[in-house]
């Protein structure tokens, strides 16, 4: 069977199918986790956010939340979360909220505002109410890679930079996909008994290629990353979900989001953040944690949620935020084609299970789903956790264990060169880069960033990107490519910096220009014009 | 104590101006924040490298075509040649030996092996006067094992593209290996601090001499000589082939040495250099600045007849921008900048960016303006000036030195 889409859902489906003994190929047109998977808060919802408005989603969330703590603990930081009530909010809502959480099975403890200020000093001190819930922070890049790795360990094949150009359809049956290899421009056809469309918002186009209509409603959300971690717990507003009401600590930074705007399907590839979005995020973010007003913003980004209209409502008014799994044989009379969409990053595993169940039903496979119990690579029993690491690990090794869990053991560290730090903000070593290039399907610096966090820290890749580019040129025996890659990486960083280019972010931009253009002359060596926008 | 001139900013422009004034007997205080952008200078000065995407061959001639708001135009194109000579002499007097000609750019070689037009380059650095006549055919590119701030592959490829026959050779010595035990210690500055004794340099030379084969010239990353060029001269003497240095990624040892030598020269001339302090405001009376308050001497304002603002661009915090506007943070002087935030930048990281031309507004004498009024005794020099573009025009260091010297002249003749 073939899975289209290398986000969390595709990766989770690939893992589940491989674990049930199916022969799996996953194809992704860009890099893994470039869509909505890599463009959200990195929040592991407790489900509390949906408790009042969508009890079903809330129950799904808390159940998946508990599962991910077990199977993906190297991707999760157990921060807990607060739902705060500010003077401008209605404190009555807190009661409704707590009752709804209880109905959904989510622990929700009302705590004193003073206690909230004590456990989370960054919180707006004017708060008048607080509820503690089991929210957490999760690294979606690491999570996706862990799923892909496990799928491969169980025989799946995965290809990034392979775009579906068309589906092979024969007598009302999908029999495979036509692929464009975007790295070398070649075309290839691959056949399979079932094709799963897990392409997120781009799934509408994949369905169109099969002659099937799915009405998707792209909901765009913009977010801001701040230069350091002001909060240690997730902070939410205790009110009906609205703009910019969640602040999540992620590794060394924190993220505020999101806005929510319905956008035309034609514009889903334009991820540029507007001035208006930045203004809203800042205004609301400061209400949650006042210190954000003086914290450097290092980046703005946006993602698109793949919301789907219910089939019984062609007007699109009743849009589901829940999981939608369509068997096109039943729905459209087209065999061998399944779409899995809707849902959230949080419920990727459950979506994978549902999609795999549908595939297995078609193929007569009766193997049970084990993904809820079997830990992902990196989170197996006995893997060192961040808390039990001692002094015998260097900064780089500790950071690598944090990122790769037990797989960090595969990183070469036997000589002084492998231990040398390339990225000092995030503690990425030469050995880790080697590991990523050789084992984690890294073709360029942006891929490397997603796998290792190189260049994601406070300095945003000012010097480490050149070091990493140079090393990758060496490992891949392609020096010219490394220069173009470096320029493309800086351009990708700039896309996120430009909407917030004032203060220290503008300073950093000028410094980067001074180093890479002024000192190094990179602009004379490469031409970015005409290069593809999305990496 | 009343000074003749107080200079805010201790980088290339501030020091150049301070030296020129102190040399003529002025009592000068420089208030220096800390690191300057010389940290990113591999050992070259640029007068004018590029106009409209075209490399400039004769900067003096090209300067006559610049628009009226460019700092060179304010100085007067006809005075540039003379002031450029003065700048070159000032550097030599400070012990910074550079070669180059204001009427003919040469090529400096960047850490990525790319040739960029330059006016002056340190004499120990690889420099190409004519791309059709390379200074050597076969070069041995010595790569220090475990040192990542020299992108060796890119450098080697760039040199090959220029026509050199390059052999990249990895080497290490005991001194370098011991430095590598700490994973983050391999920076140019730490190498420069360790490779100082004659024994350590001899060990480097031994490696070079045994590995360089039949090369005509040996190239080494610029990781020597943070305070003076003695170590470089010693290593050149110990090597049995001509040795040239190549700029590295920051920290740039060569630029830090230029900073140190200029500072020493300024102090030798009797200048007063306040390190780790910065101007935070001042008192104006009419069209004059009376005194300047610094962060460390908040209750003891510095008084002077003239003041020079040399605090640099955004990088050095001489300019600042917030959510709403671009401003000059010490005195809130008038700036030449777009009011609309959307116009500050452009998509495309390598595109020309409007913000890099922003700076304080000045009159033709480089006097600053505040609320439209000229402040007659407050001058601006260097990167804080508007109307030039260090990144895209390659005029940053030239503007720093030449505006510094022009303002020194203005101050001395009472303009």
B119 within domain boundaries: no
The pLDDT value given to residue A384 = 58
Which position has the higher pLDDT, A29 or A313? A29
Provide, rounded to the nearest whole percent, the portion of chain A with pLDDT above 90.
Answer: 69
B207-237 tens-digit pLDDT: 999 999 999 999 999 999 998 999 999 999 9
Phi, psi of B327 (to 5 degrees): -145, 165
pLDDT higher than 70, residue A529: no
- The residue whose two tokens read 């450097």 is A296
- Whether residue A392 has pLDDT greater than 60: no
CATH of the domain at B192: 3.40.50
Q: Identify from B38, B148, B254 which residue to disrupt to test chain A contact, counting A C-beta atoms within 10 A and taking the largest count.
A: B148
Average pLDDT (A334-358) is 96
Task: Delimit the domains of chain A by residue range.
Answer: 2-34+141-215+316-363, 75-136+219-301, 386-525
Whole-model pTM above 0.80? Answer: yes
- Residues B231, B159 share a domain: yes
- Cα–Cα distance measured from residue B28 to residue B3, given in angstroms and rounded to the nearest whole number: 6
One domain for residues B379 and B266? yes
| Residues in chain B closer than 8 A to A421 (CB atoms) | 183-184
pLDDT of residue A450: 85
The three-state (H, E, C) secondary structure of chain B, written as one string: CEEEEEEECCCHHHHHHHHHHHHCCCCEEEEECCCCHHHHCCCEECCCCEECCEECCCHHHHHCCCCCCCHHHHHCHHHHHHHHHHHHHHHHHCCCCEEEECCECEEEECCCCCEEEECEEECCECEECECCECCCCEEEEEEECCCCCCCHHHHHHHHHHCCCEEEEEEECCHHHHHHCCCCCCCCHHHHHHHCCCHHHHHHHHHHHHHHCCCCCEEEEECCCCCCCCHHHHHHHHHCCCCEEEECCCCCCHHHHHHHHHHHHHHHHCCCEEEECCCEEEEEEECCEEEEEEECCCCCCCEEEEEEEECCCCHHHCCCEECCCCEECCCCCCCEECCCCHHHCCCCCCCCCCHHHHCEECECCCCEEEECCEEEEEEEECHHHECCCCHHHHCCHHHHHHHHHHHHHHHHHCCC
- pLDDT given for residue B397 in this prediction: 98
* pLDDT, tens digit (0-9, with 9 covering 90-100), for A199-217: 999 999 999 999 999 988 8
- Give tens-digit pLDDT for A401-414: 767 777 778 887 77
A518, A529, A534: best mutation site toward chain B, by most B Cβ within 10 Å? A518
| pLDDT band per the 50, 70, 90 thresholds, residue A421 | confident
CB A198 within 8 A of CB A191: no
Is B110 within the bounds of a domain? no
Q: What is the mean pLDDT of residues A249-256?
A: 91
Q: Which residues of B touch A519 (CB under 8 A)?
A: 40-42, 110-111, 247, 249-250, 252
Chain B's closest residue to A276, CA to CA, is B342
Instruction: Please report whether residue B54 resides in a domain.
Output: yes
Assess whether B194 and B241 both reside in one domain.
yes
Q: What is the mean pLDDT of residues A306-329?
A: 74
Best residue in A281, A398, A504, A517 for a mutation probing chain B (most B CBs within 10 Å): A517
How close, in Å, is residue A289 to chain B by CA atoms?
A: 18
Spatial neighbors of B411 by CB under 8 A, at least 6 apart, are B5, B21, B26, B306, B308, B379
pLDDT at A419: 83
Same domain, B228 and B263: no
Give me the mean pLDDT over the A7-24 stretch: 98
Residues A517 and B350: beta-carbon distance below 8 Å: yes
Domain co-membership, B339 together with B385? yes
pLDDT grade, residue A475 (50/70/90)? confident
Residues in B closer than 8 angstroms to A480, CB to CB, are 157
Mutation pick from B11, B54, B109, B151 vs chain A, by most beta carbons of A within 10 Å, is B151
**What band does A312 get if pLDDT is binned at 50, 70 and 90?**
low
For residue range A92-119, what is the model confidence (pLDDT) as tens digits? 999 999 999 999 999 999 999 999 999 9
Find residue A428's DSSP bridge partners: A423
Residue A244 pLDDT > 50? yes
- Whether the CB-CB separation of A398 and A381 falls below 8 Å is answered with no
Residue A525 confidence (pLDDT) above 70:
yes
pLDDT tens digits, A352-390: 999 999 999 999 999 999 999 999 988 887 765 555 544
pLDDT of residue B14 exceeding 50? yes
Give the pLDDT of residue B128: 97
Let me know if A134 is exposed, middle or buried by CB neighbors in 10 A (0-12, 13-18, 19+).
Answer: buried
Confidence at A535, pLDDT banded by 50, 70, 90:
very low
Question: Mind listing the pLDDT tens digit for each residue in B100-159?
Answer: 999 999 999 999 999 999 999 999 999 999 999 999 999 999 999 989 999 999 999 999
* Confidence check: pLDDT of A140 > 80: yes
List phi, psi (to 5°) of A230: -80, -25
Coil/strand/helix, residue A456: coil
- Asked which of B246, B277, B309 is the last residue of a domain, the reply is B246
Q: Is the peptide bond before B294 cis (omega within 30 degrees of 0)?
A: no
CB contact under 8 A, A507 and B252: no
Domain boundary among B246, B265, B283: B246
Instruction: Flag whether pLDDT at A328 surpasses 90.
Output: yes
**pLDDT (mean) for B182-197:** 85
- Residues B175 and B262 occupy one common structural domain: no
Distance from CA of B49 to the nearest CA of A (A): 11
Cα angle at A166 between A161 and A168, to 5 degrees?
120
Mutation for A interface: B39, B128, B154, most A CBs within 10 A: B154
The string of pLDDT tens digits covering residues B40-75 is 999 999 999 999 999 999 999 999 999 999 999 999
A272/B345 Cβ within 8 A: no
Residue B316, min C-alpha distance to chain A (Å):
8
pLDDT at A17: 98
Q: Within a domain: residue B178?
A: yes
B93 and B202 both lie in a single domain: no
* B131 shares its domain with B91: no
* Cross-chain CB nearest to A275 (options B42, B314, B342): B342
The H-assigned helical ranges of A112-214 are 113-119, 140-153, 203-209
The confidence score (pLDDT) of residue A411 equals 83
- Quickly state the pLDDT bin for B388 (edges 50, 70, 90): very high
**What does the pLDDT average to over B16-39?**
95
Reply yes or no on whether the pLDDT at A534 is more than 70.
no
Q: Which chain A residues have a beta carbon less than 8 Å from that of B153?
A: 470, 473-474, 479, 482
Give the per-residue pLDDT at A311. Answer: 64
pLDDT at residue A367, rounded to an integer = 97
Of B199, B227, B246, at which residue does a domain stop?
B246
Q: Do residue B202 and residue B225 come from a single domain?
A: yes
Q: Determine the Cα–Cα distance for residues B364 and B73; give it in Å rounded to an integer.
A: 9
Tens-place pLDDT, residues A256-288: 999 998 999 899 988 889 999 999 999 999 999
pLDDT band with cut points at 50, 70 and 90 for residue A451 = confident
Q: How many distinct structural domains can be found in chain B?
A: 2
Domain A2-34+141-215+316-363, CATH homologous superfamily name and number = FAD/NAD(P)-binding domain (3.50.50.60)
B28 in a structural domain: yes
Whether residue B290 is contained in a domain is answered as: yes
Q: Which residue of A has its CA nearest to B345?
A: A498
Residue B7: φ, ψ to 5°: -110, 130
HSE, side-chain direction, 13 A CA sphere, residue A359 = 31
Residue B93 belongs to a domain with what CATH number?
Answer: 3.50.50.60
Structural domain span for residue B39: 2-101+256-412
Q: Are residues B371 and B282 in the same domain?
A: yes
Which residues of chain A make contact with B394, given a CB cutoff of 8 A?
518
pLDDT reading at A292 higher than 90: yes
- Please report, rounded to a whole number, the percentage of residues in chain B having pLDDT higher than 70: 99
Residue of A nearest to B54 (CA): A524
| Predicted confidence (pLDDT) at residue A245 exceeds the cutoff of 50 | yes
A306-315, A362-371, B253-262: which has the minimum mean pLDDT? A306-315
Are B107 and B115 spatial neighbours (Cβ–Cβ below 8 Å)? yes
Phi first, then psi: give them for residue A246, nearest 5 degrees: -135, 130
Q: Do A502 and B356 touch (CB under 8 A)?
A: no
Quote the mean pLDDT of chain B: 95
Residue B154: count of CB within 10 angstroms of its CB: 27
pLDDT above 70 coverage of chain A, percent: 92
Domain at A75-136+219-301: CATH code: 3.30.9.10
- Give how far Cα B187 sits from Cα of A295, A433, B180, B198, Å: 29, 19, 10, 21
B261 and B331 together in one domain: yes
Q: Is the pLDDT of residue A90 over 90?
A: yes
Predicted confidence at residue A238, as pLDDT, reads 96
Residues B110, A523: C-beta atoms closer than 8 Å: no
Smallest CA–CA distance, residue B263 to chain A, in Å, is: 23
| Residue in B153, B184, B391 nearest the CB of A514 | B391
Residue carrying the six token digits 């030296």: B19
Residue B87 banded pLDDT, cuts 50, 70, 90: very high
Mean pLDDT of chain A, nearest integer: 90
Cβ contacts below 8 Å, chain A against chain B, sum to 156
The pLDDT of residue B297 is above 90 = no
**Model confidence band, residue A533 (pLDDT cutoffs 50, 70, 90):** very low
Res B350 pLDDT > 90: yes
Minimal C-alpha gap between A491 and chain B (Å)? 5
B16 and B67 in a common domain: yes
B271, B26 contact by CB (below 8 A): no
Which residues on chain B are in Cβ contact (under 8 Å) with A500?
none
Mean pLDDT throughout A153-168?
95
């Amino acid at each position: 069977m073939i899975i289209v889409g290398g986000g969390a859902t595709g990766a989770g489906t690939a893992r589940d199918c491989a674990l049930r003994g199916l022969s799996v190929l996953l194809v992704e047109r860009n890099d893994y986790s470039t869509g909505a998977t890599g463009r959200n808060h990195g929040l592991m919802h407790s489900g509390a956010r949906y408790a009042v408005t969508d009890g079903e989603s809330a129950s799904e969330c808390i159940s998946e939340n508990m599962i991910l703590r077990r199977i993906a603990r190297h991707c999760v930081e157990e921060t807990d979360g607060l739902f705060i009530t500010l003077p401008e909010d209605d404190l009555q809502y807190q009661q409704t909220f707590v009752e709804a959480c209880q109905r959904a099975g989510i622990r929700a403890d009302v705590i004193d505002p003073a206690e909230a200020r004590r456990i989370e000093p960054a919180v707006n001190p004017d708060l008048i109410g607080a509820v503690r819930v089991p929210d957490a922070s999760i690294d979606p890049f690491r999570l996706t890679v862990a799923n892909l790795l496990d799928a491969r360990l169980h025989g799946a094949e995965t290809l990034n930079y392979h775009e579906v150009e068309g589906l092979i359809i024969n007598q009302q049956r999908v029999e495979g996909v036509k692929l464009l290899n975007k790295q070398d421009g070649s075309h290839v056809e691959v056949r399979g008994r079932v094709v799963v469309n897990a392409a997120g918002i781009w799934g509408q186009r994949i369905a169109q290629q099969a002659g099937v209509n799915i009405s998707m409603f792209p909901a765009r959300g913009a977010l801001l990353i701040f230069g350091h971690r002001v909060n240690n717990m997730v902070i939410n507003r205790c009110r009906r979900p609205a703009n910019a009401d969640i602040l999540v600590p992620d590794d060394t930074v924190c993220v505020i989001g999101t806005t929510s705007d319905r956008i035309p399907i034609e514009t889903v590839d334009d991820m540029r953040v507007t001035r208006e979005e930045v203004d809203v995020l800042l205004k609301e973010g400061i209400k949650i944690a006042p210190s954000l007003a003086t914290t450097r913003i290092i980046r703005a980004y946006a993602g698109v949620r793949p919301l789907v209209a219910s089939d019984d409502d062609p007007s699109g008014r009743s849009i589901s935020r829940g999981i939608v799994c369509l068997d096109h044989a039943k729905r459209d009379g087209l065999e061998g084609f399944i779409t899995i969409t809707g849902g959230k990053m949080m419920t990727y595993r459950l979506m994978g299970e549902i999609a795999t169940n549908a595939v297995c039903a078609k193929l007569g496979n009766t193997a049970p789903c084990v993904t809820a119990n079997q830990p992902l690579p990196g989170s197996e029993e006995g893997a060192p956790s961040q808390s039990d690491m001692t002094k015998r690990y260097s900064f780089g090794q500790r950071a690598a264990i944090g990122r790769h869990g037990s797989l960090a053991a595969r990183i070469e560290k036997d000589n002084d060169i492998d231990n040398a730090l390339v990225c000092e903000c995030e503690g990425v070593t030469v050995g880790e880069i080697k590991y990523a290039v050789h084992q984690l399907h890294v073709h360029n610096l942006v891929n490397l960033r997603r796998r290792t966090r190189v260049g994601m820290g406070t300095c945003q890749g000012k010097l480490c990107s050149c070091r990493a580019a140079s090393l990758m040129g060496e490992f891949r025996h392609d020096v010219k490519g490394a220069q173009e890659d470096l320029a493309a990486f800086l351009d990708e960083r700039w896309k996120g910096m430009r909407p917030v280019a004032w203060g220290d972010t503008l300073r950093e931009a000028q410094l980067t220009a001074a180093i890479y253009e002024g000192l190094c002359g990179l602009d004379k060596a490469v031409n970015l014009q005409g290069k593809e926008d999305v990496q | 104590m009343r000074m003749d001139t107080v200079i805010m900013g201790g980088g290339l422009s501030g020091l150049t101006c301070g030296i020129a004034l102190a040399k003529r007997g002025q009592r000068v205080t420089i208030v220096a924040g800390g690191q300057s952008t010389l940290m990113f200078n591999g050992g070259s000065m640029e007068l004018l490298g590029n106009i409209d995407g075209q490399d400039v061959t004769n900067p003096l001639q090209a300067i006559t075509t610049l628009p009226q708001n460019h700092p060179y135009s304010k100085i007067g194109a006809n005075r540039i040649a003379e002031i450029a000579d003065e700048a070159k002499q000032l550097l030599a007097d400070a012990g910074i030996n550079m070669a180059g000609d204001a009427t003919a750019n040469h090529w400096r070689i960047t850490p990525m092996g790319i040739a960029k037009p330059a006016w002056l380059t340190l004499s120990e650095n690889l420099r190409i006067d004519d791309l059709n006549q390379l200074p050597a055919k076969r070069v041995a590119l010595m790569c220090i094992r475990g040192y990542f701030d020299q992108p060796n592959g890119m450098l080697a490829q760039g040199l090959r593209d220029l026509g050199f026959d390059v052999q990249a050779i990895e080497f290490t010595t005991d001194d370098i290996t011991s430095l590598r035990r700490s994973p983050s210690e391999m920076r140019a500055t730490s190498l420069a601090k360790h490779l100082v004794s004659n024994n350590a340099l001899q060990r480097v030379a031994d490696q070079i001499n045994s590995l360089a084969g039949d090369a005509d010239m040996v190239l080494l990353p610029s990781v020597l000589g943070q305070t003076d060029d003695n170590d470089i001269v010693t290593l050149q003497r110990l090597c049995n082939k001509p040795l040239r240095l190549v700029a590295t990624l920051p920290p740039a040892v060569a630029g830090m040495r230029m900073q140190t030598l200029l500072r020493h020269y300024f102090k030798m001339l009797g200048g007063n250099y306040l390190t780790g302090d910065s101007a935070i405001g001042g008192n104006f009376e009419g069209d004059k600045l009376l005194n300047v308050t610094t962060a460390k001497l908040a209750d003891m304002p510095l008084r002077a007849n003239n003041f020079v603002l040399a605090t640099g661009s955004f990088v050095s915090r001489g300019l600042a921008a917030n959510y709403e506007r671009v401003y000059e943070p010490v005195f809130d002087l008038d700036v030449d900048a777009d009011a609309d935030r959307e116009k500050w930048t452009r998509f495309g990281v390598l595109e020309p960016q409007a913000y890099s031309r922003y700076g304080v507004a000045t009159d033709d004498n480089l006097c600053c303006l505040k609320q439209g009024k000229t402040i007659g005794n407050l001058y601006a020099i260097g990167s804080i000036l508007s109307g030039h573009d260090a990144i895209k025009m390659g005029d940053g260091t030239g503007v720093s030195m030449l505006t510094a010297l022009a303002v020194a002249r203005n101050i001395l003749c009472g303009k």
